[in-house]
Chains A and B, each alone.
Chain A
Amino acid sequence: MIPVRSRSAAHRGLVAGLAGWLLLSLSAAADAQERPRYGGELVYVVPTEPASYDGHREGTFALIHPLAPIYSTLLRFDPNDRTGTKVVGDLAESWRIAKDGRTYTFKIRRGVKFHDGSDLTAKDVKASYDKIVNPPADVISYRKGQYTAIEAIEAPDPTTVVFRLKWPAASLITALASPFNWIYKADILAKDVHWYETHVMGSGAFVFVEHVRGSHWVGKKNPSYWDKGKPYLDGYRALVVKDGNAQVAAVRAERAHVQFRGFTPAERDSIVQALGPKVTVQESPWDCVLLVGMNHEKKPWDDKRARRALTLALDRYQGSQALSRIAIVKSVGGVQVPGTPYATPPAELEKLAGYSHDIAKSRAEAKRLLKEVGVPEGFSFSLKNRNVPMPYEPVAIWLVDQWRQIGLTARHEFIESTKWEADLIAGNYEVSVDTQCSYAVDPDLDLYKFQSMGISGNNYGRYVDKTLDDLYQKQSRALDAEERKKWVRDFERRLLDEEAHYFYTLQWHRIIPHSAKMRGWTVTPSHFVNNQLDGVWLSE
């Protein structure tokens, strides 16, 4: 997470950051010693609204934040784990993986009830996962592509669910722990498989009360939740507040306890300044990143030397220092969030194109490569970007500036989101800012996009690279952690350095300033995870 060799100013800043991080962890640990208090309503703000209520169908955090507390999942990520990678059971009491990695057996808890009073058994888990893995013809399962390894799902008795795989999949447990994999009632799905798109009924710590469109969501405590003693809260209220400044104002005026996505450094500072000890700030690197995609079908980006030149020009370390003051980006990382199990250590990362600390040398090489390809000095190309202010705008401004240093003129085009997507999909661009957010830090999730066109629905670079696809498959099936690390590094090297198909700018940085009254919540690199609120309590 922190580069070993660094310039002195950056070093000082980072030491301070480390100290601060330690302090926060210590205070979080101290939190855990206090006894949770019962009662109170948690109020938080959500920036947008989802299209439907069906978690299997949607991919947006706008659905998770207000409705995750209503549902249970088979597995989930440990709410107290800061890396957001440790999987624990929610409905699953325990599980066994066969030696060949092709059979997973889960023991389901007894005594879990849906909010309508009926019992939740293995058949409900099976029906829900059938819908996710193998949906009927007119149903969309957003993450279906993650579960291609699953051959069959069985529920031999009311407390056992068995997953049979076609081949061993290293990330299946993570895939099953997706916060979107809500367990629905089998009887309802049998009657109307679209029911959950417009209705809400789960088995989680909170019961759904109401949703007023464009205004708010309300949930109240589930008195018959399986985890006796929880939840601590009487209920929660999610207010829909679309404007960033209005969200900050809400937290500042103590109308809301928290916003679960993230605020900018400036917003954090204004809240801290206004509320002082009444606010706690938790920060973490984020599993979201802005990428630069180049259209391999347009000259000169079909030549990997030109692509390498673009990534070599970026002084990521200086960018990290400067931009982390004004935008929600910070860490310099590769294909995995720094500090997580499969992330490349900084010493290795430095060897890749664009990650060297010697920026003068990198830029000299960039210029040389451009000359080799025949790109003239002052060459102008368009950089398409999505019209969202944070952090797309500041990062793009930085990119344009960095490329100026090697004699390239990028024309920044700020385009309405829909049109930007459409342009990317149609290949109607030269160079573009692209984005990636995964719900958990996992190589399967984070690397999927970069596979060849035809395999990955999101490969807007329009390239085909069989070696890369092969590496993806290898890492996906490697059950041994060390072996998997090797394949992930190979993938990273080919993607970012040898071929420079896509490259990473800076990792986003998640900053959550929240009311000091809110306890029992730990930040993780994913804003999709840890939103069930069963362990959250309000002090007084």
Chain B
Amino acid sequence: MTKYIVKRLLLMIPTLLGVAVLIFFLMRIVPGDIVELRFAGESAYAQKENLDKERARLGLDQPVWRQFLSWMGGLARFDLGTSMWTGAPITEEIRLRFALSLQLAIMATIVAILLAIPLGVIAALRQDTWIDYVVRVISIAGLATPSFWLGIVFILGLLIIFKWLPPMVYTPFWVNPVQNLAQLIWPALAVGYRYSAVATRMTRSAMLEVLREDYIRTARAKGLWEKLILSRHALKNAMLPVLTVIALEFAFLIGGLVVTEQVFNLNGLGLLFVEAVGHRDYTLTQALVMLVAFVFIFVNFLVDLAYAWLDPRIRLR
């Protein structure tokens, strides 16, 4: 088992390295220069010689390989550097937004699980009846609705019908839980509903698989409730693909909710991402990508561990 863990941990490194190289060079291929962007805005007075001064200050005049090495050196020391756009340390830029995005991801995942598992199990137990159809329609509707559309409908609904708007500023949970939840429950519901769709389907098929097992089928004489109790052990294994899917989606939730954040006015990582790329803020974009990639790879690692724990064939290899 330990050999398996070590092997998996080691495999994380080349992936992270690959991501680092990819984002570094991708950003430099994309046309546009942060300095020009900043000082050639809506007014006409940008002075050319000043732009070079700025580039030198940001270290952009150095040869590319040297920039790469100094960034990698910083990463090795867990020093993410400073944002090229604001000059503030990146940890400061990310801190609050990461807290919000993380909380939102967790809440959305909880909503998704709370919806998916009961719905999936019911749909499987009552396969091909109208209950099954209704569940499938509901869950697919979640997949089909554009997330920004749902968000807009939520906000407009709250505003027009209840004349109420969620809090506009993020307060961390431990500071003021009521305000915190009042702000985040709506996007969590919108996002969670969408993500429950895939999980519902997987739960349903996993449950169906389990129900095919002979010892359950032969218990046909017994009621559904009994079937559920009997299958709980087998269900544990069958839920593995569901777990994988949820885990993969969780990583996506950390940095990917750009449109949701825009519509619900959340100060999260998604919008920070878009801004950083829009500003060609190399250091910030690189740091964000590494963060998201790390979360993804780490979550994957945890899932692999869970698989290994549950499946002796892998554990004993």
Direct contact of A and B (CB under 8 A): yes
The answer to whether B44 and A216 touch across the interface, beta carbons within 8 angstroms, is no
Asked whether A197 lies within 8 Å of B43 as measured between CB atoms, the reply is no
**Which chain A positions have C-beta within 8 A of B86?**
51-52, 213
Alpha-carbon distance A180/B103, docked complex (angstroms): 39
Q: List 4 tightest A-B contacts by C-beta distance, closest first.
A: A418-B32, A253-B165, A246-B265, A214-B267
Find out whether the CB atom of B40 lies under 8 angstroms from the CB atom of A140: no
Q: Which of B59-67, B109-117, B202-210, B272-280 contacts A (4 or more CB under 8 A)?
A: B272-280
Q: Contact string, A452-469, partner B, CB cutoff 8 A, digits 1/0?
A: 000011100000000000
Given A252-B159, A436-B44, A456-B44, are A239 and B272 also a contact pair (CB < 8 Å)?
no
The answer to whether B32 and A214 touch across the interface, beta carbons within 8 angstroms, is no
CA distance A51 to B271 in the complex (A): 16
Restricting to A454-496, which residues have a CB under 8 Å from any CB of B? 456-458
From A17-25, A142-150, A302-310, give the one contacting chain B: A142-150
Residues of chain B within 8 A of A253, CB atoms compared = 159, 163-165
Q: How far is the CA of A239 from the CA of B96 in the complex (A)?
A: 15
* Across-interface contacts of A435 in B (CB, < 8 A): 42
The answer to whether B96 touches A243 (Cβ under 8 A) is no
Residue of A nearest to B272 (CB): A214
A143 close to B45 (CB less than 8 A): yes
Nearest-CB residue, chain B, relative to A243: B262
Assess whether B263 is interfacial by the CB under 8 Å rule. yes
Those of B12-47 within 8 Å (CB) of chain A: 31-33, 36-47
Given contacts A246-B263, A250-B168, A421-B36, 6 further A-B contacts (CB under 8 A): A143-B43, A144-B50, A215-B96, A240-B267, A418-B278, A419-B32
B residues in contact with A240, CB < 8 Å: 267
Contact A214 B97 (CB under 8 A): yes
Is B71 close to A, CB under 8 A?
Answer: no
Q: A140, A145, A197, A255 — which one has the most chain B CB atoms within 10 A of its CB?
A: A140
Residues of B within 8 A of A419 (CB): 31-32
Q: Could you tell me if A421 and B32 are in contact, using CB atoms closer than 8 angstroms? A: yes
Residue ID in chain B nearest A140 by CB atoms: B50
Interface residues on B, range: 35 or more
Closest A residue to B95 using CB positions? A213
* Contact indicator A239/B168 (Cβ below 8 Å): yes
Is B155 close to A, CB under 8 A?
yes
Given A52-B87, A214-B96 in contact, is the A448-B45 Cβ separation under 8 Å? Answer: yes
A200 at the interface (CB under 8 A from B): no
Alpha-carbon separation in the docked complex, A51 to B58 (Å) = 14
- Does A8 count as interface, using CB distance less than 8 angstroms? no
Q: Which of B117-169 contact A (CB under 8 A)?
A: 152, 155, 159, 163-165, 168-169
- Report B-chain residues with C-beta under 8 Å of the C-beta of A250: 165, 168
Please, how many angstroms separate the alpha-carbon atoms of A231 and B224 in the complex?
A: 73
What is the size category of the interface that chain A forms with chain B? 35 or more
A118 sits at the interface (CB 8 A): no
Q: Is the CB of B53 within 8 A of A457?
A: no
In the bound complex, residues from chain B placing their C-beta under 8 Å from that of A255 are 165, 168
Among B57, B152, B170, B265, max chain A CB count under 10 A is at B265
User: Of residues A137, A241, A242, A418, which shows the largest number of chain B Cβ atoms within 10 Å of its Cβ?
Assistant: A418
CB B250 to nearest CB in A, in angstroms, measures: 23
A252 to B160 alpha-carbon distance, docked (Å) = 10
Closest beta carbon of chain B to A426's beta carbon, Å:
9
CA distance A449 to B159 in the complex (A): 44
- The complex places the Cα of A418 from the Cα of B31 at a distance, in Å, of 8
Q: How far is the CB of B148 from chain A (nearest CB, A)?
A: 10
Do residues B278 and A198 form an inter-chain contact, with CB atoms below 8 A? no
Residues of A236-276 whose CB lies within 8 A of B = 239-243, 245-246, 249-250, 252-253, 255-256
- Determine if A144 and B47 form an interchain contact, defined as CB atoms under 8 angstroms apart: yes
Please indicate the chain A residues that have their CB under 8 angstroms from the CB of B36 in the complex: 421-422, 425
B252 within 8 A of A: no
- B residues less than 8 Å from A425 (CB atoms): 36, 40
A437–B42 contact, CB under 8 A?
yes
**Bound Cα distance A342, B133 (Å):** 71
A59 contacts B41, C-beta separation under 8 Å: yes
In the complex, B249 has a CB within 8 A of chain A: no
Residues of B within 8 A of A141 (CB): 50
Chain A proximity of B253: nearest CB distance (Å): 19
Query: Considering only CB atoms, which chain B residue lies closest to A447 in the complex?
Result: B44
CB nearest to B92 among chain A residues: A213
CB of B271 within 8 A of CB of A437, answer no
A215 and B267 within 8 A (CB): yes
Q: Quick one: closest B residue to A418, CB to CB?
A: B32
How far apart sit A197 and B87, CA to CA, in the bound complex (Å)?
A: 9
Q: Given the interface contacts A146-B45, A245-B155, does A140 sit within 8 Å of B96 by beta carbon?
A: no
What residue of chain B has the Cβ atom nearest to residue A49's Cβ? B86
CB distance A457 to B97 under 8 Å? no
Closest to B83 in A: A51
Query: Which of B32, B43, B48, B163 is within 8 Å of A437, CB to CB?
Result: B43
**Can you list 30 A-B contacts with CB-CB less than 8 angstroms, sorted by A residue number?**
A59-B42, A140-B39, A140-B54, A142-B43, A144-B50, A145-B44, A145-B45, A213-B88, A213-B92, A215-B267, A239-B168, A242-B262, A243-B265, A245-B155, A246-B263, A252-B159, A255-B168, A288-B42, A417-B37, A417-B278, A418-B32, A418-B280, A421-B37, A422-B33, A436-B42, A437-B43, A438-B43, A448-B44, A457-B44, A457-B45
Report whether B45 and A249 are in contact in the complex, using a CB–CB cutoff of 8 Å. no
Question: Is A198's CB under 8 angstroms from B43's CB?
Answer: no
Give the distance to chain A from B99, nearest Cβ to Cβ, in Å. Answer: 12
In the complex, what residues of A have CB within 8 A of residue B87's CB? 51-52, 197-198
Q: Are A249 and B159 in contact (CB under 8 A)?
A: yes
Instruction: Report chain A residues within 8 Å CB of B53.
Output: 137-138, 140
* CB closest residue in chain A, given B264: A246
Flag whether B85 is at the interface (Cβ < 8 A): yes
Q: Return A46 CB to nearest CB of chain B, in Å.
A: 12
Task: Assess whether B304 is interfacial by the CB under 8 Å rule.
Answer: no
Q: How far is the CB of B284 from chain A (nearest CB, A)?
A: 12
Is A60 among interface residues, defined by CB-CB distance under 8 A? yes
Q: How far does the alpha carbon of A146 sit from the alpha carbon of B279 in the complex, in Å?
A: 26
CB distance from A93 to the nearest CB of B (A): 29
List of B residues within 8 angstroms of A143 by Cβ: 43, 45
A435 → B minimal CB distance (Å): 6
- A residues within 8 A CB of B85? 51
